Structure 1
């Protein structure tokens, strides 16, 4: 069988997570799979090209079809391009199925969870649309998150420190800055910083700590060849000193989930971890149901507060790498299982969630299968 990984392209060179593609190529060879990289530019060109790993570099050649396509286009802005939608249409006309229709939008994820009562109680108090001055006036601690954000980029943390003083921190390119001042000054900063992007506001949860650092959980889920959701791994991440998120690239630390829970809850650790996984499984099923069962993988971020209550935070359609040595190999195995499911159950790749689909530009998608595919 053959799996094509959909990336982007710049100057006729593939752009995206090529390390992952190389790992899939090596793992696939051992399993009898052929792996190639495809791009919208290559699929839409009259000669239809792809890239194949030859052991030392990626080599361009004629596109020879695929049993399934795995969307790993690296940036949301690329998925908003007309050529991306044209490529999806081209794959549909060729009858090549795929999964990972596109990045999630945080507000759509939250709306999906709020529609199910048992999950709604696990979502921190959320305002999907808010006016900064009014929000700040309510007091409490708030996290403001860009709906199109990733890895904690662009988040703002706001809280009241005294009768007339508010403090706020924000993260940009992994760097945390902070300031404080009046309600008017704080709300003016929020308006200015969030201008042009859709943000949601969530009440900040006082997370349980491991070795004095707040921690949360990342769970990785993939569909097996029969379309059943399987947990591939769960990891814990502790925030670095003076950091706003637990992401490892921004100073977070890897922890063992059970050990992290034992540090705060002792003998209750196993009970709480079971609840974390049960909640994550329900969250995955609800998101998949809201998208007509077309999803093939995702990660769910959760946390527990200092009383042991479990909270749902985010879902990621294109999970970042899990560095735990036992999780990444399981993920690679899972990709091939998901590809088998996609081949037997899906048609086309779908569309990016919440995207305002632009007009498809350029020549019409070719209905005829390229000669290299027919051969």
Structure 2
């Protein structure tokens, strides 16, 4: 039997030694460490640059006073919770090598694993008869001709997003402009800067869209009407997690509203969260809102089970749903490393507490299973569904800094 004190290491991308120290998702990480201590667990944050393979020594960060972080030598983990968002393929490779070295020193369990690219995920979900009607029509971007065909197929409107993107970066929305024969192209660059321009002529429109996509793997979808009555883009983020018994449950839902005129609702792009039931009731009325939330719950749990059956063990997933003005529901994306910002908006609320505690309880369960759960960590493989972008996987951000 293992000791009851589970050691959970939370992996993030490389941490700079600047002062004051800034960790990604700091409020969530702080809550994890605090809640873990209350459960009798040892929880710390580490990154690839804190591992010494020669000394087989790992440094990590644990909370200090006043919200500060203290660096200290930490025990090797029983379970690794991967929250890394690497900025390059090189950083990603360094992280994979570090985990392999650590695993040889002491086998550990992975709390979860990454998902493949968006198109592959959609193909997996489309194999479920109940989920297929919720998925928007999606094509792979393969240059000018594919863009032209998609623009005509989707009635002159088009939404273009990277297959491996995140946080709403690198997206482009094309819709007919008031001027006949022209299109409005609006979106966000890879660094999340907004842009908007009018393009005259279909040939010029698809040419500039192809230039925007570049050699990065992009997907083409219809530009759905996912705006509230005030013209703000919005979606519903559903967080599903495994509990301390290893069973899927819905932690909660939150509406995310973007800025007026924006094409995304992501909080990193200036959006803000809102309570789901109240916000949807204001837009659709109480009865339809209740029905929508029930459908979102059932679809999220079914999607989680479907993806886990195809991809291997998962611990939590964030699903983004779009809703058109007539109440048509769409399952837009699945995220294997869902953010917590919209669920930690009100610390101490039941949803915020559950969003933090569930991964801890599941980690403790995996630790109690011992070596049977501590399989060798998978080495990230290139996304087989890309167009030659062999160094990228689902969480590497490398979209082009090109305006259409």
The TM-score, its normalising length taken from structure 1, stands at 0.86
Q: Distance in 1 between matches of 2:295 and 2:93?
A: 42
Cα distance in 2, alignment partners of residues 177 and 357 from structure 1: 28
| Superposition deviation, residue 291 in structure 1 | 0.8
Q: CA-to-partner distance for each residue in 1:145-201, whole Å, 9 max, x for gaps?
A: 011111111100012346522221121234321122111111111111111210001
Structure 1: gaps spanning 5 or more residues: 359-375
What does the per-residue CA deviation read over 1:116-152, in whole Å, with 9 as the maximum and x for residues that have no partner? 2221211111113442233234433211001111111
Question: Structure 1, residues 231-255: CA drift from partner, whole Å, max 9, x if none?
Answer: 1111011232111111233232322
Q: Distance in 2 between matches of 1:304 and 1:224?
A: 28
Structure 1's 249 and 82: CA in aligned 2 closer, same or farther, altered over 3 A?
closer
Q: CA deviation at 1:300?
A: 0.5
Partner of 2:253: 234
| 1:134 corresponds to 2:149 | yes
Return the structure number with greater strand share. Answer: 1
Residue in 1 aligned with 2:127?
A: 115
Match of 1:371 in 2: none
Asked whether 1:222 is paired with 2:241, we answer yes
2:82 and 2:42 mapped to 1: Cα distance? Answer: 16
**Separation of aligned partners in 1, 2:266 and 2:310:** 28
Q: Does the CA contact (< 8 Å) of 2:64 and 2:70 recur in 1?
A: no
CA contact (8 A) 1:88 1:349 kept: yes
For residues 203 and 113 of structure 2, the distance between their equivalents in structure 1, rounded to whole angstroms, comes to 41
Render the CA deviation track for 1:218-274: whole Å, top value 9, x for unaligned: 011111122211211110112321111112332323222222222233232211211
Q: Deviation per CA, 1:292-351: give whole Å up to 9, x if none.
A: 2x1111100002222212110011111112244233221111121121233224523334
Q: CA RMSD in A?
A: 2.6
| Matching residue within 215, 220, 235 for 1:196 | 215
Partner in structure 1 of residue 12 of structure 2:
7
The answer to whether the aligner puts 1:347 opposite 2:382 as a matched pair is no
Matched with 2:60 is 51
Task: Determine the structure 1 residue equivalent to 2:111.
Answer: 99
In structure 2, runs of 5+ residues without a counterpart are 1-5, 384-389, 393-404
Q: Which shifted more, 3-12 or 218-227?
A: 3-12
Contact 2:32–2:357 under 8 Å retained in 1: no
| Structure 2 equivalent of residue 151 of structure 1 | 167
Separation in structure 1 between the aligned mates of residue 24 and residue 232 of structure 2, nearest angstrom? 32
Matched residue, 2:400: none
Counterpart-to-counterpart distance in 2, 1:80 and 1:289: 29
After superposing on structure 2, the runs of 4+ consecutive aligned residues of structure 1 that deviate more than 4 Å are 10-15, 353-358
Q: 183, 187, 203: which is aligned to 1:170?
A: 187
